[in-house]
Amino acid sequence: MEFIKVTNQIREHISLIEFNRPKELNALSPQLMSELRDALLALDQDESVRVIILTGNEKAFAAGADIKQMADKSAIDMLLQDQFATWDQIKKTRKPIIAAVSGFALGGGCELAMTCDMIIASETALFGQPEIKIGVLPGAGGTQRLTRALGKVKAMEMVLTGKFISAEEAEKYGLVNRVVPVELYLEEAFKLAAEIAQQSPVAVRLAKEAVLRSFESSLEEGLYFERKNFYLAFASEDQKEGMEAFIQKRKPDFKGR
Ligand code: CO8
């Protein structure tokens, strides 16, 4: 891996992926994205991993897709290269992913953070979809995910002007879970990850699927999907353990089965 660093089990059941292209503000080149996809796939299949944290550095989570590598491409080059296939695979990760964002989360960087399941932001984080300023528009979900998170008028303003919003505004609009001082953002992500890692991995997987389904279905279909997953949870040993532990007034010991 050249552009990312993976630390498996940095804490119990938690793995950390760090972007490592600091000079380019972690611009998301096709190679970086392929490395990210490969890392996520491996962690997703590793039963000892329960939560994944994705981060950049203090200055930049990621300043977007690599403009220098895209600048001279034709539409057909882009079509044939089909970088979105990599993004589609990333989106299929079943384990929860927390983005720990400090500094710039722009363009594809903002879209990638929004593709994650939760976002912890440092107070220096800046979110934006500045593609309009370079003559294009968001391509990795920005027009859709930002609009769902912020509502039409705020998303429209960001997408049409390229203006950034601060971490504080992002929290106010519900784009991020919370904002903490810059020296604490990674630790805060670890805290959240540890809380999730204590739960039944089976139930967490089913619950993540059900929450994501709400973006892609009517309420009726979403409720039906949730109910199926709820029933399915009763096929797990973790459900028996969780409920027995509650009744016996002890801490559950979830095994992911
Ligand atoms: N791509 C390539 N290089 C970049 C990028 C980028 N997105 N962002 C920054 N860099 C490079 C700079 O060129 C510079 O390199 P060098 O030192 O060789 O000149 C280095 O990183 C440092 O950047 P700056 O000197 O510009 O740093 P500043 O602190 O002055 O400014 C900014 C920081 C405001 C973040 C500024 O760099 C900037 O505006 N960057 C571009 C932001 C942007 O427009 N992002 C959107 C890109 S398009 C996109 O993301 C589409 C995604 C959808 C499709 C994905 C799959 C195809």
Q: Show me where the domains of the chain are located.
A: 4-197, 201-247
Q: Return d(Cα 112, Cα 33) in angstroms, integer.
A: 10
Q: How far out from the chain centre does Cα 47 lie?
A: 19
Distance 15 CA to ligand 1 centre (A): 27
Written in H, E and C, the secondary structure of 53-113 is: EEECCCCEEECCECHHHHCCCCHHHHHHHCCHHHHHHHHCCCCCEEEEECCEEECHHHHHH
pLDDT computed for residue 37 by the predictor: 98
pLDDT tops 90 at residue 145: yes
CB 6 within 8 A of CB 39: yes
Residue with CA closest to ligand 1 atom 28: 25
pLDDT tops 90 at residue 164: yes
The percentage of residues in the chain with a pLDDT greater than 90, rounded to a whole number, is 99
Best residue among 19, 20, 24 to mutate for probing ligand 1, ranked by most atoms within 8 Å of CB: 24
User: Which neighbouring-strand residues pair with 28?
Assistant: 65
Instruction: Kindly list the strands in the beta sheet with 14-19, ordered across the sheet, starting from the edge strand earlier in the chain.
Output: 4-11, 14-19, 51-55, 97-101, 118-122, 178-180
Q: Which CATH number fits domain 4-197: 3.40.640.10, 3.90.226.10, 3.40.1190.20, 3.40.50.970?
A: 3.90.226.10
Q: Evaluate: CB of 107 within 6 angstroms of ligand 1.
A: yes
Distance 41 CA to ligand 1 centre (A): 27
- Whole-model pTM: value is 0.95
- Closest-lying ligand 1 atom to the alpha carbon of residue 67: 1
> pLDDT per residue over 27-69, tens digit each?
999 999 999 999 999 999 999 999 999 999 999 999 999 999 9
Distance 172 CA to ligand 1 centre (A): 26
Mean pLDDT over 230-238 rounds to 94
Quote the ipTM score.
0.98
pLDDT computed for residue 59 by the predictor: 98
Best residue among 20, 21, 25 to mutate for probing ligand 1, ranked by most atoms within 8 Å of CB: 25
pLDDT computed for residue 50 by the predictor: 98
pLDDT computed for residue 216 by the predictor: 87
* Residues contacting residue 104 through CB under 8 Å, at least 6 positions apart: 25, 59, 60, 61, 62, 63, 126, 128
pLDDT computed for residue 104 by the predictor: 98
Mean pLDDT over 233-253 rounds to 95
Distance 105 CA to ligand 1 centre (A): 10
Q: Evaluate: CB of 108 within 6 angstroms of ligand 1.
A: yes
Confidence band for 91, pLDDT divided at 50, 70 and 90 = very high
Q: Residue-wise over 130-154: b if at least 16 C-beta within 10 A, else e?
A: bbeeeeeebbbbbbebbbebbeeeb
- Within this chain, domains 4-197 and 201-247 share the same CATH topology: no
- Closest-lying ligand 1 atom to the alpha carbon of residue 66: 1
Instruction: State the burial class of residue 173 (Cβ atoms within 10 Å of its Cβ: 0-12, 13-18, 19+).
Output: middle
Is domain 201-247 classified as CATH 1.10.12.10? Answer: yes
* Residues contacting residue 176 through CB under 8 Å, at least 6 positions apart: 101, 119, 120, 121, 125, 127, 167, 170
Q: Evaluate: CB of 131 within 6 angstroms of ligand 1.
A: yes
